[in-house]
Amino acid sequence: MSTLKIACATVNQTPLDWEGNIGHISQAILKAKSLDADFICFPELAITGYGSEDLFLSYWYPQKALTQLEKLLPYSLDITIAVGLPIRIQDKVYNCVALLENQKVIGFVAKQFMAIDGVHYEFRWFTPWEHGKVINFEFQGNQVPFGDLVLEKKGIKYGFEICEDAWRGSVRPGYRLKERNVDIIFNPSASHFAMGKSILREQLVNESSKLLNATYFYINLLGNEAGRMIFDGEILASKDGKLIMKNNLLSFEDSQVTTFDYDKQAADYPEIQSTHQKNEEFVKASSLALFDYLRKSKSKGFVLSLSGGADSSTIAVLVSEMVRRGVEELGVTSFLKKLGSSFIPLTNNPVKEITGQVLTTAYQASDNSSFATFQSAKLLSESIGAEFLNWEITDEVKSYTEKIEKSLGRKLSWKEDDIALQNIQARARSPIIWMLANIKNALLLSTSNRSEGDVGYTTMDGDTSGSISPIAAVDKYFILQWLRWAETELQYSGLKKVNGLQPTAELRPSENQQTDETDLMPYSVIVEIERLAIRDKRSPVDIYLILKEELSLENGLLKSYIKKFFRLWSRNQWKRERLAPSFHLDEFNVDPKTWYRFPILSGGYAEELKELDEI
C-alpha cells in the first residue's frame, strides 16, 4: 500500500494544565479518527507546552509528561500518533516526539539542534541529540528505540526534523533522512509568531521538500501559551517545492485538525496560493493573544486608561477585535463560555454588548489635557461599545505638588522642574486606574510602545502601569499607519478623531505645543536607528554611514538623532527591565526578558558617540 491519510493537528496548550492539554490532544485524535486518518502529528512539546521554561529542569516535570503520554495510549488503536514531550535521561533532558501505535510506544525521536536566538533559550533546558545515535529507553517495562529514527507505515518511510532542526542549513537532519530514502518528513514545531514569519516558513517548507526529495509537513503550536510568545498554529505541506496544504492561522479554537491524502505514487498535487498582510497579521495575533491571556489568567475583563491618542486607541480596537473575531469563529455561547462568563447578550449586536462587559475605559484629564483628546477617547469608546468613564486628576496633582513645594520651601516651575511636573500627572493617574481594575477583577492594559521603550519616553509607574502591555513590542511608526488602515479596512469610524491628532503626551501647558516627535525625533527615524542598533547590533558609526545614504537628512542632524537615541537607550534600560509583560509580535523586541539583554549600568556609548564627530 502506498497511500496514507495524514492528519496534522495544532493545539492551544498551557503549562501545568495537564487535564486541558491532554483533553485538547485527545479531542484532536478523535476528530482525526472520524476523518479516517491513519496518522496524526502534533506540534513540538504538545503535552507540556513549549513555554514551561525552568519546569523542564526539574526531575518530576518530564516524568509527569510521561504519565500523560500513557493516557494517550488507548487512543492509538487504528491510528499512529506523533506527539511532543520532554524526556529526562539521568541528568539530561531531551526534546522528543513519541510515536504511539496499537496502544504501545514504538519509538522516541529526539531533537538534534536547539534554538538559542531571539526569544529562544533552549540550551538552558535541553541537550541536543547526537545524529545517527539510537539507544533503548525503558517505558512501561518495554525497551523502546530512542534517538535518530526512521519509521514506516503502510510501506511509507517517514522521519522528523523538530523545529530548529530544519533551520540549520547543510547540517540539518533532513539531509541524512534523504540518504535514508524517507518519503515524508514531519516538522513538529513551537515557532513563535512574528509579522511576516509565515512567508519564511512557506519558503522553508517548499525548499525542504525539493532539496530533501520528500513530502514535507510542518505543524506549529497555537495561541498565547504562557504569556509572551504567541503561536499561530500554522500547518503546511509541500511537495516538489510547491505548497499543497495550508490552514487558517491564529484560531480561537482549542485545536485544529487538517487532513491530507498522501499517495506515494501521485505525480503532482494542486498548488496552494497564500496571501500575507502585515496589518491583518498584527490584529489577528493580538486579538488571540488578548483572549488567551484574559481567560488563562482567570480575569474578568480589561481596564484601559484611554487618552484619545494612538497607543491607547490601538489597544481599545484590539480588544474590540478580540470580541468580534472570537464571536465570529466560536459563536456567542462558546466565546463567553471559554471566558468563563455567564453574560447573556440581549440585542442583535452581541459584539458591542460583550465588549461593554469586558472593556472599561477611562479618560483621566489633567489641566493640560485638551478637549480634542477627550472627544477622541469618548467617540472611540462609545463606538465600540466599551464602558466609558472620565474624571479629572487636578486635585491629586495639586496635592502632590503642594506637598513637595512645602517641603522644599519653593514653588515648582516649568523652567526648572519640567520632567517632574510632567511625570507627576502620569503617576497621579496610576493609583485610581489600578483601583478600578482591582474592583472589576480586571487586567490593567499598559499603553507603552516599542519606540517609547527604546528611548524611555514613558513615565515609570505612570503610563507604564499595567498587568500586560499589548503593543510594547511594536514601533510607533507602525501603529500610526495601522490605525489609518483600521479606520478604513476594519471600518472603525471612531478612529477618525484619533487619526486627526498629532501624537502628544499632553503633559506640558498647551501653549508649549508639545508633540512626541518634537521631544524625541521623527518616529520614522527612530525605526531606522533601532532596526540597525537593536536588531542588527550595529555601532553608532556604522548606523550613521548606512543612514546617511538612506535618509534625506542633513549630516549634523542625523548625527544628533543617533547620539540622542543611544544616550536615551543606555540611560533607560532600568525602565525596560520593569515594563509589564508584552506580546512578541514583530521580528524583534526590546524586552530584556525575551529578546535583547543590555546592562542597566554602562558607559553609555560615550567613546562610540565621540567617533561620530570624527567622521
Cα–chain center distance at 266 = 38
For the chain, the average pLDDT equals 95
CB-based contacts of 8, cutoff 8 Å, min separation 6 = 40, 41, 217, 219, 235, 237, 245, 247, 257, 258, 259, 260
Instruction: Answer yes or no: is 273 within a domain.
Output: no
Choosing from 237, 267, 297, the residue where a domain stops is 267
Q: How do 151-153 and 156-160 pair as beta strands?
A: antiparallel
Instruction: Answer yes or no: is 204 within a domain.
Output: yes
Q: How do 242-246 and 255-263 pair as beta strands?
A: unpaired
Instruction: Answer yes or no: is 275 within a domain.
Output: no
**Other CB atoms within 10 A of residue 414 CB:** 11
pLDDT of 78-101, one tens digit each? Answer: 999 999 999 999 999 999 999 999
Q: Are residues 27 and 140 in the same domain?
A: yes
Q: Are residues 484 and 587 in the same domain?
A: yes
pLDDT at 1 over 70: no
Q: Are residues 258 and 381 in the same domain?
A: no
pLDDT of 320-331, one tens digit each? Answer: 999 999 999 999
pLDDT at 266 over 90: no
pLDDT at 514 over 80: no
- 16 is in which domain, residue-wise? 3-267
Q: Mean pLDDT, to the nearest integer, of 244-273?
A: 95
- Number of structural domains (the chain) is 2
Q: What integer pLDDT is reported at residue 512 of this predicted model? A: 67
Choosing from 267, 301, 319, the residue where a domain stops is 267
Residue 21: which CATH number? 3.60.110.10
Choosing from 267, 290, 315, the residue where a domain stops is 267
Rg (alpha carbons) of the chain, rounded to whole number: 27
pLDDT of 102-129, one tens digit each? Answer: 999 999 999 999 999 888 999 999 999 9
pLDDT of 33-92, one tens digit each? Answer: 999 999 999 999 999 999 999 999 999 999 999 999 999 999 999 999 999 999 999 999
Residue 488: which CATH number? 3.40.50.620
Angle at 317 between CA 312 and CA 319, to 5 degrees: 95
In this prediction the pTM is: 0.95
pLDDT of 574-614, one tens digit each? Answer: 999 999 999 999 999 999 988 999 999 999 999 999 999 88
DSSP code of residue 130 = P
Q: What integer pLDDT is reported at residue 508 of this predicted model? A: 72
Q: Cell 503532482: give the residue.
A: 268
Q: Are residues 260 and 349 in the same domain?
A: no
Q: Are residues 206 and 285 in the same domain?
A: no
Q: Mean pLDDT, to the nearest integer, of 518-542?
A: 94
